[in-house]
Amino acid sequence: MFLRVQYVFLHHVCSAPWITRMAESVLFPVLLAAVKIKCLKLVFDCFPYQANLTHFSHLFLSVLVKFNNCAGNKGVRYETNSLDFKVRADGTLYAAHHLQVPSKQLILMVTAWDPQTLGRWEAMVRVRLKAMLERPSVSEIHSRSHQSANGLRRQKRDWVIPPINVPENSRGPFPQQLVRIRSDKDKEIHIRYSITGVGADQPPMEVFNIDPVSGRMYVTRPMDREERASYHLRAHAVDMNGNKVENPIDLYIYVIDMNDNRPEFINQVYNGSVDEGSKPGTYVMTVTANDADDGTTANGMVRYRIVTQTPQSPSQNMFTINSETGDIVTVAAGLDREKVQQYIVIVQATDMEGNLNYGLSNTATAIITVTDVNDNPPEFTTSTYSGEVPENRVEVVVANLTVMDRDQPHSPNWNAIYRIISGDPSGHFTIRTDPITNEGMVTVVKAVDYEMNRAFMLTVMVSNQAPLASGIQMSFQSTAGVTISVTDVNEAPYFPTNHKLIRLEEGVPTGTILTTFSAVDPDRFMQQAVRYSKLSDPANWLNINATNGQITTAAVLDRESDYIKNNVYEATFLAADNGIPPASGTGTLQIYLIDINDNAPELLPKEAQICEKPNLNVINITAADADIDPNVGPFVFELPSVPSAVRKNWTITRLNGDYAQLSLRIMYLEAGVYDVPIIVTDSGNPPLYNTSVIKVKVCPCDENGDCTTIGAVAAAGLGTGAIIAILICIIILLTMVLLFVVWMKRREKERHTKQLLIDPEDDVRDNILKYDEEGGGEEDQDYDLSQLQQPETMDHVLNKTPGVRRVDERPIGAEPQYPIRPVIPHPGDIGDFINEGLRAADNDPTAPPYDSLLVFDYEGSGSTAGSVSSLNSSSSGDQDYDYLNDWGPRFKKLADMYGGGEED
């Protein structure tokens, strides 16, 4: 079985000589050794201090002691015989309170017992304190075991392993021996030793090696704790044949930290803020620095301090920093943004718990912005303001109020809000804030009247959008007075009653005085005259007196006129003063016309139809009256007594107040049209009557009481002669239409045959400059323009001078028939005319030569230019005439003649 020993050290124990002074004044924990004991044997060794320690006046010990009972140490409980020390459940031995160490050696008795097996063990622990340069000693502490319930006894260990602790950054020389491993069986047989694990046979390789014979283990290079803080190896012991002699044992190598890393700030620049006027102790920000060294030792314990503060106003120590946490807080009062808006603080972080002599340091910048609070009320720059506004104007800025506020511009602490406290009970003004300048703009929102108020005295107050800070009161200068004077302007006259309504009967005579429609001039302080005129009088029925506004009739007012809407006639008048500039107002006069019985009723309908025999049907009649109730129905319908035939042949039966029936009195009346007079009387006072004539057609009827067709004609009063005359007229009309259609067809056919010729009256080419006119030679300059016109007859062709013939004329005599070419409209432009003719000729393969463009084959006589036959042309050699096929249908024959090639 093995004895396993594990060393655990605190960094500050192995630090620089400052620990000598510190040990005399402070209490600090020292972890000497963590010892795992298996079965019966226990070994301790103190870590060699690197400081020259002679004694400790105060010492706090922490020793990890674990008893392993071969089956594990679960449930093992510990006790000690000293009242100064106690043992935790995990086996840690620690001092219960401050104590004096009388000598360099402490002897304790530790008891471990297992409540399950009732086994009990006691071990004596001797702790020796050594000087800095002494070699570590190994003390074997043999424990005695009491007989337990199961009769187990402690057995002797087989391995003796010294502790392994390696400081980082060692200067060597390398390889440097760490420890020697041996087994108590090496006296009996030859043993070969080896190690495995990270740092031995696993990357990083060969950091540690071991002499296989002597068991001495070495480190081969300097260690870096920040790269790796510990190594876990396993030691093996085999004989010369490779057989395992002992079970492998775990080796723990701990790299002891050295102060080789500076603290590093997370950020080089930190930004924080604090409200102005903050009390001392107000938190500002936190700066943080990390040290790669062991944070449980002084090497990695960082402490902070403020190096400089800029500016140093109002105090050079406005802030302080917590040395351990890095929290920056205010330490003095007097932060004022209006004086200092920003502080730049240089913070230093130092390890070795802030020891500037031995610790490593680094710095960072903390920018502290003093944020604004509303500790300055706004103040008017002057106590009184003045302005002027014309009457009857709105949305006019009267005065600009300026304020001063030392808080941060364009923030709620600076933005001004204005209020009118007094002087404007009717709400004529409001104050709006200019968001750029923070000025207050006194604006008219309700028109003021000079005749009512000539001036206003306003009291205004200004405050901020944000409330004032606690303890800050409004300033006396936050209130000011505003004087606003109102200027008089020429106001338009107005009609007090608008629309004015009067009632009168229609039909009043011309010149009747209706009313006085006068206007009032609001300018009481101006001596002005008002003149009246008509602005709108649709029927031209009224007159107005230009001086006093008296309304008289210029014509008879008729309620039944088209200008009347709902019995009301409306006219508009204008009242204008003589101010500078003149002003005018309008007024509307409404005349409600009361109806009088001035319209006689009219019979309806004017025409009707009835059968020649009575009792088959009747005619319903009524009346229409332009008047209104009570000057309308009920109506009275009656037949006149003259002529007597009326009452003899017809009769009227009353149905109700508005309707009656007209019917035959006799048994039979010959078919025809009869004028029946009827007297209609209304119910007005006095009543009016009218004699109306209704045309009644009397016709033979069928069994249903409807007039037959023949009967309708007969009733119309037409005889046989008249009917025959009508039929003859219809036949003549149809014949004329037919002849007109035939004439139009013939004219259209002629146009098809002469579609390239234009009527002389439509020809405009005489007024166009001639071009491409070959004509005769230089001696023949008298052009016959009639050749370009459509010939009326063919005489000029027959009588034309021999030798000159136009090939665009139709040949004389018999000619072959060709398909009619499509009709094209007469173009108004000669160029379009020629292009259309060319396109029609190219697309018509059967077109005769006269459908082409003008071609002249006579050049005249006596030309000084000579004949074109004098031009030399060569006919030698073969020439390809196939291109003639591309010239269109007009050159088809020429292409066949010259393009035949070998086929000819």
> Do residues 90 and 106 lie in contact, with contact meaning Cβ atoms separated by under 8 Å?
no
pLDDT at 577: 84
More confident residue, 444 or 635: 444
Whether residue 398 contacts residue 404, with contact meaning beta carbons closer than 8 Å, is answered with no
SS3 content of the chain, % helix, strand, coil (to 5): 15, 35, 55
Judge residue 891's burial from the number of C-beta atoms within 10 Å of its C-beta, 0-12 exposed, 13-18 middle, 19 or more buried. middle
Is residue 384's pLDDT more than 50? yes
Candidate from 18-32, 129-143, 506-520, 531-545 with smallest mean pLDDT: 18-32
User: How confident is the model at residue 514, as a pLDDT?
Assistant: 87
Does 605 have pLDDT greater than 70? Answer: yes
User: For 91-95, 103-107, 428-432, 649-653, which range has the lowest pLDDT when averaged over its residues?
Assistant: 103-107
Q: Flag whether pLDDT at 747 surpasses 70.
A: yes
User: What confidence score (pLDDT) does residue 594 get?
Assistant: 85
Question: For the chain, what is the mean pLDDT?
Answer: 76
Confidence class for position 864, pLDDT limits 50, 70, 90? low
The 3-state DSSP class for residue 717 equals coil
Residue 210 bridge partners (DSSP): 217
Mean pLDDT of 209-217: 92
- Closest to 663 (Cα-Cα) out of 673, 676, 681: 676
Peptide bond into 634 cis (omega under 30): yes
Question: Which pLDDT score, from 0 to 100, does residue 201 have?
Answer: 92
Q: Inform me whether the pLDDT recorded for 767 exceeds 70.
A: no
Mean pLDDT for 802-818 is 47
Quick count: other Cβ atoms within 10 Å of Cβ 146? 11
570 and 586 Cβ atoms separated by less than 8 Å: no
Dump pLDDT digits (tens) for 53-77: 333 333 334 444 555 555 556 677 7
Q: What percent of the chain has pLDDT over 70?
A: 70
Residue 115 has pLDDT above 60, yes or no: yes
pLDDT at position 480 is: 95
Phi, psi of 433 (to 5 degrees): -95, 130
Better-predicted residue by pLDDT, 783 or 841: 841
Of residues 160 and 431, the one with the higher pLDDT is 431
Strands 176-180 and 216-219: antiparallel
Tell me, rounded to whole angstroms, the distance of Cα 358 from its chain centroid: 63
Encode pLDDT of 573-582 as tens digits: 999 888 878 8
Please tell me the distance from the alpha carbon of residue 353 to that of residue 301, in angstroms, as a whole number: 5
- Whether residue 679 contacts residue 660, with contact meaning beta carbons closer than 8 Å, is answered with no
Q: Residue with structure tokens 């001092």?
A: 95
- The 10 Å Cβ neighbour count of residue 846 is 11
| Among 240, 150, 154, residue whose Cα is nearest residue 192 | 240
Long-range CB pairs of 778-786 (<8 Å, 24+ gap) are: 778/860, 778/863, 778/864, 778/865, 779/860, 779/861, 779/862, 779/863, 780/860, 780/861
Residue pLDDT, tens place only, 38-59? 333 333 333 332 333 333 333 3
Coil/strand/helix, residue 749: helix
CA distance 89 to 69: 16
How far apart, in whole angstroms, are the C-alpha atoms of residue 904 and residue 899?
9
**Both tokens of residue 138?**
């190994």
- Least confident range of 136-140, 173-177, 368-372: 136-140
Give how far Cα 332 sits from Cα of 276, 282, 337, 342, Å.
12, 10, 15, 15
> How far is 608 from 663, CA to CA, in rounded Å?
11
Q: Which amino acid is at 482?
A: V
Q: Kind and range of the H or E element at 594?
A: strand 584-594
Q: What is the mean pLDDT of residues 167-183?
A: 89
CB-CB contact of 258 with 265 (8 Å): no
Residue 728 backbone phi and psi in degrees, to 5:
-60, -40
Other C-beta atoms closer than 10 Å to the C-beta of 681 total 17
> Which stretches does DSSP call E strand in 39-76?
41-44, 60-68
Please tell me the distance from the alpha carbon of residue 490 to that of residue 499, in angstroms, as a whole number.
Answer: 23
User: Can you give the pLDDT at residue 9?
Assistant: 30
The pLDDT tens digits of the residues spanning 889-899 come to: 777 777 777 76
When mean pLDDT is compared over 114-118, 626-630, 876-880, the highest value belongs to: 626-630
**Rounded Cα gap, residues 817 and 147, in angstroms:** 154
Q: Residue holding tokens 């775990």?
A: 250
Residue 526 and residue 577: Cα distance in Å, rounded? 11
Give the count of beta carbons closer than 10 Å to the beta carbon of residue 901: 10
- What residues contact 267, with CB distance under 8 A and at least 6 apart? 287, 364
- Does residue 434 carry a pLDDT above 90? yes
pLDDT band at 129 (very low <50, low <70, confident <90, very high): low
The residues with which 502 forms a beta bridge, in sequence order, are 591
Q: What is the pLDDT of residues 224-248, one digit of tens each?
A: 998 998 999 999 999 998 899 988 9
Q: pLDDT tier at 311 (50, 70, 90 boundaries)?
A: very high
Q: List all residues 6 or more positions away from 372 whose beta carbon is below 8 Å from its beta carbon.
A: 276, 337, 407, 408, 411, 413
Q: Is the pLDDT of residue 429 over 90?
A: yes
**Quick one: pLDDT at residue 323?**
94
* Cβ neighbours, 10 Å, residue 206: 12
State the SS3 of 218-251: EECCCCCCCCCCEEEEEEEEEECCCCEEEEEEEE
- Alpha carbon distance 389, 347 (integer Å): 63
pLDDT attached to residue 672: 86
- How far apart are the C-alpha atoms of 886 and 891, rounded to whole Å? 9
- Give the pLDDT of residue 702: 78
pLDDT range class, residue 162, cuts 50, 70, 90: low
pLDDT-based confidence at 371, cuts 50/70/90? very high
Q: Check residue 77 and give its pLDDT.
A: 76
Task: Classify residue 49 by its DSSP letter.
Answer: P
Maximum alpha-carbon separation in the chain: 180
- How far CA 362 is from CA of 270, 288, 311, 787, in Å, comes to 14, 11, 22, 116
On the question of pLDDT at 490 being above 50, the answer is yes
Asked if the peptide bond before residue 236 counts as cis, ω within 30 degrees of 0, the response is no
887/903: higher pLDDT: 887
Neighbouring-strand partners of residue 460:
420, 480
Run of H or E residues at 483: strand 479-487
Instruction: Quickly state the pLDDT bin for 432 (edges 50, 70, 90).
Output: very high
More confident residue, 846 or 827: 846
Look at residues 164, 196, 201 and name the one whose alpha carbon lies nearest to residue 179: 164
Question: Cα(436)–Cα(570) distance, rounded to whole angstroms?
Answer: 54
Residue 15's pLDDT band, with cuts at 50, 70 and 90, is very low
Q: Choose the most confident range, by mean pLDDT, from 149-153, 383-387, 619-623.
A: 383-387
3-state SS assignment for residue 296: coil
Which residues, 6 or more positions from 318, have their beta carbon under 8 angstroms from its beta carbon? 309, 330, 331, 332, 334, 335, 343
pLDDT of residue 16: 28
Length of the chain: 904
Q: Give me the pLDDT at residue 547, please.
A: 87
The two beta strands, 500-505 and 584-594, are parallel
More confident residue, 104 or 721: 721
Region 712-719: what's the mean pLDDT? 55
- At 836 the pLDDT is 78
Rounded Cα–Cα distance for residues 142 and 124 (Å): 8
Q: What is the pLDDT of residue 366?
A: 97
pLDDT exceeds 90 at position 417: yes
> H-helix or E-strand containing 895?
helix 892-898
Mean pLDDT, to the nearest integer, of 856-872? Answer: 51
End-to-end Cα spacing for the chain? 133
CB 259 within 8 A of CB 294: no
Beta bridge partners of 128: 105
Please name the residue that has the structure tokens 């400089």: 308
Scan for tokens 């234009």, then name that residue.
758
Token digits of residue 799: 């009588």
What are residue 695's phi and psi, to 5 degrees? Answer: -85, 120
Least confident of 45-59, 668-682, 764-778, 800-814: 45-59
| pLDDT tens for each residue of 528-567 | 888 899 888 998 999 998 888 889 998 988 888 889 888 8
Q: Are 665 and 639 in contact (CB under 8 A)?
A: no
- Write the secondary structure of 314-363 as one string of H (helix), E (strand) and C (coil): CCCCCEEECCCCCEEEECCCCCCCCCCCEEEEEEEEECHHHCCCCCCEEE
Which pLDDT score is estimated for 857? 52
pLDDT at 723: 66
Scanning the structure block, which residue is given the tokens 């020390």? 85
Stronger pLDDT, 49 or 433, i.e. the higher one: 433
At residue 886's C-alpha, the angle toward residues 885 and 891, to 5°, is 55
Q: How confident is the model at residue 682 (pLDDT cuts 50, 70, 90)?
A: confident
